[in-house]
Amino acid sequence: MENRGIVVIGAGPAGLAAAVKLRRLGAEDVLVIERENETGGILRQCIHDGFGLERFGKSISGPEYAALLKSEAEELGIECLTGTSVLEISKDRTITAASPSGVVEIHAEAIIAAAGCRERSRGSIMIPGERPAGVYTAGTAQAYMNLYNRMPGRNAVILGSGDIGLIMARRLTLEGAKVSAVFELQDHPNGLERNIVQCLDDYSIPLYLSHTVTEIHGKDRIEGVTVSAVDGNLRPIEGTEKYYSCDTLILSVGLIPDNTILEKAGVEIDPSTNGAVVDEHLMTSIPGIFSAGNMLHVHDLADFASAEAEAAAENAFLYASGKLDTGRNLSVVPGEGVSHTVPGRITGHGPFTASLRVRKKERGKTVEVRQGGKILGYRFFPLVIPSQMISVDAEAAAGCENVEVIVR
């Protein structure tokens, strides 16, 4: 068993930003553990630009963003165990990992879990029909094209208007494939407006809202899909079925934090995000274990994931120095119109920021953080949509009443 200082799990933008921050704060012993042979996380396969406007003040590609973070980490002499997969964490912060030299056990003073998220697959949305080849999640198709130089197909249909699907519609088109259409179950797009314009409109790829794939056809390789319009309850409307011929179906139907390791450790998980329930310091229900980035909740931008991880790093540093303020336990509850909030608990006595997603698209709404009759913070939004994360700064909560976040 090796005893280490602060261990960061995952070397994506969140993990690397946390490690860099820790070193800059003066933490002497920082270790990053990464499953892949290279650092950078999902950014390595995102060769489009649009990353880094907040952190680096310029629009760069994913690999460039990863390279900048990697060189910051190298300059600071941060140790990174690549090719090493964390298998288990125990309540006392002992990490068991499979490394190229065998199984290793490391005891950490504090842990920052930043192991990212996974994509929803065909199984999770239960599309009926055959089980042919040619059905990919958008991230898998992206990895084929951008990391391994392989075309997933020539004639694609995309289900889901999340950013990855939109980006893949453009990528496939640029590589000579035909993209017949993007179909979205909801009555609004799930991706950023700039991606709708730059990835679909600019290439005349139609987007059909309130539509879904209701059947997959083909025995060995996919040959086509049936698409139907859906009603207000998202149920397919009989008689609206239309057949689209294709050799590829790309699914861009959402990301879910991957928390198997934390769940096994006994960390409390929020069923609405699949991420850990954390306090305002981003500390989970197990003292000394923090979570950040897409492993905590899915972020819209890499910059937001890395900024959150830096906050986790500051708090992990305080925890390891015995200075973290965690004297109480109030719940932060998602109220009317809110699907989830981070943090889910308040343990300290200072101001905090609530990050949340709303349940539905609405115009001219105020998001309020309140405790009993008192408003701790509020922000007005001309438009709120579930696909965009919102944050509201709040002053310190007083007393022992729970805090609620609502859309009004």
Ligand X SMILES: Cc1cc2nc3c(=O)[nH]c(=O)nc-3n(C[C@H](O)[C@H](O)[C@H](O)COP(=O)(O)OP(=O)(O)OC[C@H]3O[C@@H](n4cnc5c(N)ncnc54)[C@H](O)[C@@H]3O)c2cc1C
Interface residues with ligand X (CB under 6 A) are 9-15, 33-36, 41-43, 46, 48, 50-51, 85-86, 114-116, 139, 142, 163-164, 167, 261, 293-295, 299, 301-303, 305
Nearer to ligand X, 186 or 294 (CB): 294
What is the spatial distance between Cα 405 and Cα 271, in angstroms, rounded to a whole number? Answer: 17
Task: Give yes or no for a contact between 177 and 156, defined as CB atoms under 8 angstroms apart.
Answer: yes
- Evaluate the CA torsion angle 199, 201, 204, 207 in order and state its sign: positive
Q: Strand order of the sheet with strand 374-384?
A: 345-346, 330-334, 403-407, 362-371, 374-384
Task: Give yes or no for a contact between 380 and 369, defined as CB atoms under 8 angstroms apart.
Answer: no
3-state secondary structure of 180: strand
Q: Of all helices (H) and strands (E), which one includes residue 230?
A: none
Q: Find the shortest distance in angstroms from Cβ 65 to ligand X.
A: 8
Nearer to ligand X, 69 or 246 (CB): 69
Nearer to ligand X, 143 or 209 (CB): 143
Q: Find the shortest distance in angstroms from Cβ 303 to ligand X.
A: 6
Q: Find the shortest distance in angstroms from Cβ 244 to ligand X.
A: 23
Q: Find the shortest distance in angstroms from Cβ 357 to ligand X.
A: 15
Task: Give yes or no for a contact between 252 and 283, defined as CB atoms under 8 angstroms apart.
Answer: no
What is the spatial distance between Cα 38 and Cα 148, in angstroms, rounded to a whole number? Answer: 15
| Angle at alpha carbon of residue 209, lines to 204 and 212, rounded to 5° | 105
Q: Find the shortest distance in angstroms from Cβ 250 to ligand X.
A: 11
Residue with the CB atom nearest ligand X in the bound state: 12
What is the total residue count of the chain?
408
Nearer to ligand X, 11 or 158 (CB): 11
Nearer to ligand X, 258 or 401 (CB): 258
Which residues of 72-148 form beta strands (DSSP E)? 79-81, 85-89, 94-99, 102-113, 117-119, 135-137
Structure tokens at 401: 């009443």
Report the Cα 109 to chain-centroid distance in Å: 26
Q: Find the shortest distance in angstroms from Cβ 233 to ligand X.
A: 30
Residue 323 exposed, middle or buried by CB count within 10 Å (0-12, 13-18, 19+): exposed
Nearer to ligand X, 142 or 273 (CB): 142
Nearer to ligand X, 139 or 152 (CB): 139
Q: Find the shortest distance in angstroms from Cβ 199 to ligand X.
A: 10
